[in-house]
């Protein structure tokens, strides 16, 4: 019995998505709740699980194609849970084999579950595409996959070993381009282009950044922070912190706590412009920008004012791990009253971060570098960090912005004030 694979609900107001990576090809067996395909929206990537044991019998939407919520993008041929999931193809005349024999056309090449005349296993879609582009006959390739399926690796090896491929490679290298009296091989003057479809998340990031530039009155102010005290405090207590809480004591927890205190002192930075009102908040939902598998994401630390150092570090570590695997939940990315972005982990010395609308401020952290500074009339070398606050000038005046950054500086340079909240 064929089961429809439909695009699930991925969030409020989201109606269109892009099909991501198919983790299973036509003919591949799947177990109940096993991920079949990734679904990409403008806010997050979710995985579509198999509703039951079975075999993928058809793929209607390929990776990169658009689909709407509720649309059928493939079919699964169900298998009773008490029966073993088949790993070999059925006989050519069986209904299962007919349902697996699905083809898709790309250009003039037909790809899909191609049955070679030699009696070998089917050619998987990715393998068929590689062979079709190289002009290599699927009948000439032996399969190493389950049931003698021809995999993408088999196809790549066959293309590399084919005489036509070798001849093509040789001819492309041997054609010189004459420039004056010097011959330059064409491989040295390659000017190829590779159009890659933007993911919904990347498009949404672009839209939000442009929206911020067009709708907010952006301005950035800077300061520098002496990191000596924080670094000494971390060094003194890092082992005890790990033993007690099971997580390392990082710099971010200090800046989150400092930001909470600064937001309380300067509530304009934590406010939102809703014409004709300014909405002030008594809570701090702080977004932490982390690099994910599909791009930058900003999960939210809800009620950060109620979190201690260990809770902040544990939450940030969990976000970072799940963001790398695109496992951050959609609701964890929504909302937020203020954002912290740490470009220093990538080596950034100074930047002007862009706010995440409708927020009114974002704190940019940068790399720590030893620099000569004047302390008590003497020149000493200290680990210094530049910090930047970009803010919406419609709500935050320069005085408030400078006061905010100065408060951050005071808290970091004397971290005992974070414990005493003074």
- Residue 146: its pLDDT value, please? 63
Runs of H (alpha helix) within 105-223: 125-134, 152-161, 163-174, 200-215
Q: Considering 42, 285, 393, 414, which one is annotated as catalytic?
A: 393
Q: In a 3-state reduction of DSSP, which class is residue 162?
A: coil
Residue 176 bridge partners (DSSP): 185
Instruction: With 0.85 as the threshold, say if the pTM is over it.
Output: no
Give residue 165's pLDDT: 47
Distance CA 61, CA 89 (A): 23
- N-to-C CA span, the chain: 67
C-alpha to C-alpha distance for 353 and 217, rounded to whole angstroms: 13
Q: Which residue carries 């799947």 as its tokens?
A: 30
Q: Which pair of tokens denotes residue 141?
A: 């390739």
In this structure, what DSSP letter does residue 38 have?
Answer: E
Measured CA to CA, the distance from residue 409 to residue 229 in angstroms comes to 12
* Whether residue 397 lies in the annotated active site: yes
How far apart, in whole angstroms, are the C-alpha atoms of residue 357 and residue 82?
Answer: 52
The answer to whether the beta carbons of residues 224 and 368 sit under 8 Å apart is no
Domain layout of the chain by residue ranges: 2-165, 200-420
Is 366 a known active-site residue? no
The answer to whether the beta carbons of residues 81 and 52 sit under 8 Å apart is yes
Distance (Å, whole) CA 30 – CA 149:
16
The CATH number of 200-420, from 3.30.559.10, 1.10.357.10, 3.40.50.1000, 3.30.70.930, is 3.30.559.10
Model pLDDT, residue 100: 39
Phi (first) and psi of residue 8, to 5 degrees = -80, 170
pLDDT under 50 in the chain at which residues?
82-119, 164-175, 177, 179-180
We find that the CATH architecture of domain 2-165 is Beta Barrel (2.40)
pLDDT of residue 106: 38
Per the DSSP assignment, residues forming a β-bridge with 363 are 340, 389
Q: 133 with 121: CB under 8 angstroms?
A: no
Which residue in the list 33, 169, 325, 397 is annotated as catalytic?
A: 397
């Amino acid at each position: 019995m064929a089961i429809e694979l439909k695009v699930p609900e991925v969030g409020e107001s989201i109606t269109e998505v892009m099909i991501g990576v198919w983790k299973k090809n036509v003919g591949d067996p799947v177990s109940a709740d096993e991920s079949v395909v990734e679904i990409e929206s403008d806010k997050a990537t979710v995985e579509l699980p198999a509703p039951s044991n079975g075999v993928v019998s058809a793929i209607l939407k390929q990776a990169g194609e658009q689909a709407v919520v509720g649309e059928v993008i493939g079919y699964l041929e169900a298998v009773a849970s008490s029966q073993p999931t088949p790993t070999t193809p059925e006989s050519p005349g069986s209904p299962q084999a007919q349902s697996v024999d699905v083809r898709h056309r790309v250009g003039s090449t037909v790809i899909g579950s191609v049955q070679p005349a030699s009696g070998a296993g089917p050619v998987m879609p990715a393998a068929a595409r590689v062979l079709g582009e190289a002009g290599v006959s699927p009948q000439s390739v032996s399969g190493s996959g389950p049931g003698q399926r021809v995999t993408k690796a088999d196809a790549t090896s066959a293309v590399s070993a084919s005489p036509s491929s070798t001849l093509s490679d040789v001819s492309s290298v041997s054609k010189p381009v004459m420039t004056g009296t010097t011959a330059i091989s064409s491989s040295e003057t390659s000017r190829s282009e590779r159009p890659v479809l933007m993911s919904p998340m990347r498009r949404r990031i672009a839209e939000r950044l442009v929206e911020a530039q067009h709708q907010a009155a952006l301005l950035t102010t800077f300061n520098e922070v002496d990191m000596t005290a924080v670094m000494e405090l971390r060094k003194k207590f890092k082992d005890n912190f790990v033993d007690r809480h099971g997580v390392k004591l990082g710099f971010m927890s200090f800046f989150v706590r400092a930001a909470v205190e600064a937001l309380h002192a300067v509530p304009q930075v934590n406010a939102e412009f809703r014409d004709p009102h300014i909405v002030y908040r008594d809570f701090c939902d702080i977004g932490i920008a982390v690099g994910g598998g599909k791009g930058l994401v900003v999960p939210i630390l809800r009620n950060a004012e109620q979190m201690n150092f260990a809770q902040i570090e544990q939450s940030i570590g969990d976000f970072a791990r799940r963001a790398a695997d695109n496992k951050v939940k959609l609701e964890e990315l929504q909302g937020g009253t203020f954002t912290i972005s740490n470009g220093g982990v990538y080596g950034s010395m100074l930047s002007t971060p862009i706010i995440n609308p409708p927020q009114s401020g974002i704190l940019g952290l940068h790399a720590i570098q030893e620099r000569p500074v004047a302390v008590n009339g003497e020149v000493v070398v200290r680990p210094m960090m530049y910090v930047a606050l970009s803010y919406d000038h419609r709500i935050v005046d320069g005085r408030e912005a400078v006061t905010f950054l100065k408060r951050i500086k005071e808290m970091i340079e004397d971290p005992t004030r974070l414990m005493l909240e003074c």
